[in-house]
């Protein structure tokens, strides 16, 4: 793959996405890795469970290892070090890095200071492209990516996984429905990007009418930490909860995805049903991130 960094899904072509998913499938089926003896730098300025641990697992399974900035409070960031200096220093210690940061645009900015591959592991309410790759991998396994009807539900304003997924799906023949409270609609710039990508942006405040059409329901958490005002959060929290009753009219083949962590969006009783694919989805993070690391590092050598 002739690409150094991965900052948004908008910059990936359909062919590149397909190459990563195909390589992830091979790896999942036991293919040997093409790289080894590398170090992946982990710079997480925000909490993370899946992204951090699955990148670490991916690096180690490929035969590499990680250097991890660890808790921000224990690093020089506490002494006032800038992000630019942190990434420049880390570049000398590793062969590729993953950056998660609360500020939108941080990952793009960081690429100005490093030459090794840099993966955006989430920039504020911006993008989270590697999550999208494992979302697409999971969807492809169950439904394929063309002729797909997907509902994306929850916090579409602050949800970076939503922004990256919706952008990537414009490259496939997918009908996208966006369901959220009025105040958490997709941001204008993302709607613009989707229009530019040829997608029709269908927005709803309730799921009822479209649920029977859906192959995939992608549920997201209300991003409490991004709300400027706690009262505003409380006014939208708990508006959508997926349980058996809500799903009564859904197609038998509907699957439910969630990038996790979930708070109370999905009744745990759904976990026991065939529709629940969110734990499988999180497990897919390892082969997909192995494929991504391999392709980025091979391309940059």
- Upper half-sphere CA count for residue 5 (Cβ side, 13 Å): 21
Task: Indicate which single residue of 41, 122, 124, 287 sits in contact with ligand NCD (rule: CB under 6 A).
Answer: 122
Angle between helices 285-300 and 14-28 (to 10 degrees): 120
Q: Indicate which residue of 127, 128, 160, 277 is catalytic.
A: 128
Least distance from C-beta 45 to ligand NCD, angstroms? Answer: 12
Least distance from C-beta 162 to ligand NCD, angstroms? Answer: 9
Nearest to 155 by CA among 137, 128, 173: 128
Catalytic residue status for 128:
yes
Environment class of 156 (CB within 10 Å of its CB; exposed 0-12, middle 13-18, buried 19+)? buried
Query: Which one, 219 or 296, has the nearer CB to ligand NCD?
Result: 219
Residues 162 and 65: their CA atoms lie apart, in Å, by 30
Least distance from C-beta 194 to ligand NCD, angstroms? Answer: 19
Size of the site for ligand NCD (CB under 6 A): 10
Residue 138 is a binding residue for ligand NCD (CB under 6 A):
no
Query: Which one, 41 or 285, has the nearer CB to ligand NCD?
Result: 285
Residue 259 is a binding residue for ligand NCD (CB under 6 A):
yes
Q: Indicate which residue of 50, 108, 185, 204 is catalytic.
A: 50
Binding mask 219-248 for ligand NCD (x = CB under 6 A): --x---------------------------
Q: Indicate which residue of 5, 23, 52, 100 is catalytic.
A: 100
Nearest to 147 by CA among 172, 113, 117: 172
**C-alpha triplet 236, 240, 245: angle, nearest 5°:** 155
Least distance from C-beta 262 to ligand NCD, angstroms? Answer: 8
Least distance from C-beta 166 to ligand NCD, angstroms? Answer: 14
Q: What tokens were used for 14?
A: 């359909």
**C-alpha triplet 142, 31, 280: angle, nearest 5°:** 30
Query: Which one, 35 or 131, has the nearer CB to ligand NCD?
Result: 131
Query: Which one, 35 or 276, has the nearer CB to ligand NCD?
Result: 276
Residues 9 and 3: their CA atoms lie apart, in Å, by 13
Give the largest CA-CA distance in the chain: 55
Residue 23 is a binding residue for ligand NCD (CB under 6 A):
no
Catalytic residue status for 60:
no
Residue 56: its H or E element: helix 50-61
Neighbours of 48 (CB within 10 A): 17
Radius of gyration for the alpha carbons in the chain, expressed in angstroms and rounded:
19
Residue 126 is a binding residue for ligand NCD (CB under 6 A):
no
Catalytic residue status for 49:
no
Q: 207: which strand partners?
A: none
Catalytic residue status for 100:
yes
Catalytic residue status for 51:
yes
Q: 257: which strand partners?
A: 218
Residue 260 is a binding residue for ligand NCD (CB under 6 A):
yes
Q: What tokens were used for 101?
A: 């940061």
Residue 101 is a binding residue for ligand NCD (CB under 6 A):
no
Among all residues, which ones are annotated catalytic? 50-51, 79, 100, 128
Task: Using CB under 6 A, list all residues that contact ligand NCD.
Answer: 50-51, 122, 128, 131, 160-161, 221, 259-260
């Amino acid at each position: 793959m002739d690409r150094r960094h991965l900052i948004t899904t908008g910059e990936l072509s359909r062919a590149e996405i397909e190459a990563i998913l195909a390589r992830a499938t091979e790896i999942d089926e036991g293919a040997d890795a093409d790289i080894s003896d590398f170090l992946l730098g982990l710079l997480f300025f925000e909490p993370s469970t899946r992204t951090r641990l699955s990148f670490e697992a991916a690096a180690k399974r490929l035969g590499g290892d990680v250097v991890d900035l660890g808790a921000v409070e224990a690093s020089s960031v506490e002494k006032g070090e800038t992000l630019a200096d942190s990434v420049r220093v880390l570049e000398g210690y590793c062969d590729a890095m993953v950056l998660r940061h609360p500020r939108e645009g941080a990952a793009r900015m960081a690429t100005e200071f490093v030459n090794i591959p840099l993966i955006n592991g989430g920039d504020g309410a911006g993008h989270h492209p590697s999550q999208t790759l494992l979302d697409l991998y999971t969807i492809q396994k169950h439904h394929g990516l063309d002729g797909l009807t997907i509902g994306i539900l929850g916090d579409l304003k602050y949800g970076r996984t939503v922004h990256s997924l919706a952008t990537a799906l414009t490259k496939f023949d997918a009908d996208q429905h966006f369901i959220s409270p009025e105040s958490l609609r997709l941001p204008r710039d993302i709607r613009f990007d989707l229009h530019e990508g040829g997608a029709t942006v269908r927005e709803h405040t309730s799921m009822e009418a479209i649920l029977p059409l859906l192959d995939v329901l992608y549920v997201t958490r209300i991003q409490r930490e991004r709300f400027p005002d706690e009262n505003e959060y409380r006014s939208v929290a708990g508006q959508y909860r997926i349980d058996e009753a809500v799903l009564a009219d859904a197609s038998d083949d509907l699957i439910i995805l969630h990038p996790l962590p979930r708070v109370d969006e999905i009744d745990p009783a759904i976990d026991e049903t065939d529709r629940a694919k969110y734990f499988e989805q999180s497990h897919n993070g390892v082969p997909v991130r192995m494929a991504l690391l391999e392709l980025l590092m091979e391309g940059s050598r």
